[in-house]
Structure 1
Amino acid sequence: MEFKVYQKELELQSRGWIPTFHDVSKEIIEIVEASGVKNGTVCISSHHTTCSVMIQECSHDVDSFDIEYLQHDLLDIMRKMIPDFEKEHQYRHPGPVHTQFGRYVNEPGDFTSMNTDGHLRSVFFGRSETMAIKDGVLDGGEFAHVYFVDWDHVRARRRQLNVTVMGTSDNVENRKWNNGEVINTLRKYTDEEKAFDVHYTLQQQR
């Protein structure tokens, strides 16, 4: 059995002024196909600390902000939990040392460090997702799309998404656990737990 690793980088342009949701489903599918991996996994990970990877349904309708409805619903919730950075000292971060570090690495201005909301939102969502590859096909279910989310909206900037495909070109035999028997995780009551209680008498006589 040959084990293969295939890596690619996607370059994306975020617009700034509002978080950007990049639908990269087409590119991920093409990378999986090009990898030659028939059965394995693909890890989709952000290169940046203010960005996330999200697997979610495409909601099709797009509003005047050029954001899908479901994405904007998500953004509205995140804004309630982690408000947009709108004024200086709204958050503890960035402190004076971090702001000076930004100048040291030639950031265009102190404003570029005022992206605390992006960092915190990225922590909630995480920076990567891993999906299964079955028989050469990305297993996302019927409706899944892959989104790269740039929560940092202080400026338009270039972003990088890393894609690592790992697995084998060999076939996999029957995947069904216990021949596909449905696992019932619902609670099962014992006879003692279902036994008659004298307090039921009046209800049953009505």
Structure 2
Amino acid sequence: MPSSTSTTSFSQNSFTIVLLFVLLISFFPGAFHYIYTLPFTFLYPRSQASDPCAPAATTITTTPPAATMSWAQKQFTLPPRSRGSYLVTDHVVSSVPEIRQYKVGLLNLFVQHTSCALSLNENWDDDVRADMSDALDRIAPEAGPKGEDLYRHSAEGSDDMPAHIKSALIGASVTIPIKDGKLATGTWQGIWYLEFRQVKHTRRVVATIQGEKA
């Protein structure tokens, strides 16, 4: 039969162990979780689902990098022409071969002069271009019905001020979409160069491309 001294010593040791355990949990709450889940780590080392206290798995989704936008810019000249409207689509395409490098984008053409213009219009019937030139002459004639002067500015000739008016009406630039290396113009659309001076002039055009290369 055990003595009372042994029983008391065992009780004291048990109380001390419980007290230390409580203090351990109080100061290190994560230790309880570690002790509780330790057997599952050995039983199922590769399965997170076996741990009821483990956090849910996180799925990481990667976003593909955005397409890189590219710029290109160059200057070219148009063939010298006297007053009239001219289809220059083929000349533009041959002067700006960089168009073929772009899968999608925009081509902006800007003429660096104030007495001519660029436009998008009919690409088949020549009569449309002739009619356009005639119509603009009626809108901004060089002189009045009796030959009288109509404009203050005449230092560069009687056709100069009408040319400025026509240029302001039509515009100095056009922007055309690029699709798969080609200009995405409509079936009957073409790029027009409208010259408003009587004497032939060489005109400079700045071509700017923005888009995603193929």
TM-score category (smaller protein)? 0.5 to 0.7
Q: Please give the alpha-carbon distance, in whole angstroms, between the structure 2 residues aligned to 1:167 and 1:31.
A: 18
Please identify the structure whose Cα radius of gyration is greater.
2
C-alpha displacement at 1:92, in angstroms? Answer: 1.8
Equivalent position SS for 1:2: coil
Map of 1:159 onto structure 2: 203
Residue-by-residue CA offset, 1:154-202 (whole Å, 9 max, x unaligned): x2222112211111115xxxxxxxxxxxxxxxxxxxxxxxxxxxxxxxx
Q: Does 1:57 align with 2:101?
A: no
Moved more, 46-55 or 22-31: 22-31
Moved more, 73-82 or 39-48: 73-82
Q: Please give the alpha-carbon distance, in whole angstroms, between the structure 2 residues aligned to 1:114 and 1:30.
A: 31
C-alpha displacement at 1:31, in angstroms? Answer: 5.2
Map of 2:53 onto structure 1: none
Note if contact 1:85-1:117 (Cα within 8 Å) is conserved in structure 2. Answer: no
5+ residue gaps, structure 2: 1-66
Could you tell me the percent identity over the aligned residues?
23
Larger RCO (alpha carbons 8 Å, 6+ apart): 1
Note if contact 2:109-2:175 (Cα within 8 Å) is conserved in structure 1. Answer: yes
C-alpha displacement at 1:32, in angstroms? Answer: 5.5
Note if contact 1:14-1:20 (Cα within 8 Å) is conserved in structure 2. Answer: no
Map of 2:92 onto structure 1: 28
C-alpha displacement at 1:88, in angstroms? Answer: 7.4
Q: Please give the alpha-carbon distance, in whole angstroms, between the structure 2 residues aligned to 1:156 and 1:148.
A: 13
C-alpha displacement at 1:114, in angstroms? Answer: 4.7
Question: Structure 1 counterpart of 2:162, which letter?
Answer: D
Equivalent position SS for 1:38: strand
Give the TM-score, by structure 2 length: 0.60
Q: RMSD over aligned Cα, in angstroms? A: 2.3
Q: How does 1:128-139 map to 2 (within 5 A)?
A: 128-139=173-184
Q: Please give the alpha-carbon distance, in whole angstroms, between the structure 1 residues aligned to 2:127 and 2:178.
A: 29
Q: Please give the alpha-carbon distance, in whole angstroms, between the structure 1 residues aligned to 2:116 and 2:178.
A: 24
More helix by share: 2
Q: Give the aligned length.
A: 145
Q: Please give the alpha-carbon distance, in whole angstroms, between the structure 2 residues aligned to 1:31 and 1:13.
A: 12
Q: Does 1:142 align with 2:200?
A: no
5+ residue gaps, structure 1: 61-67, 100-109, 171-206
Q: Please give the alpha-carbon distance, in whole angstroms, between the structure 2 residues aligned to 1:150 and 1:73.
A: 14
Equivalent position SS for 1:70: helix
Note if contact 2:84-2:130 (Cα within 8 Å) is conserved in structure 1. Answer: no
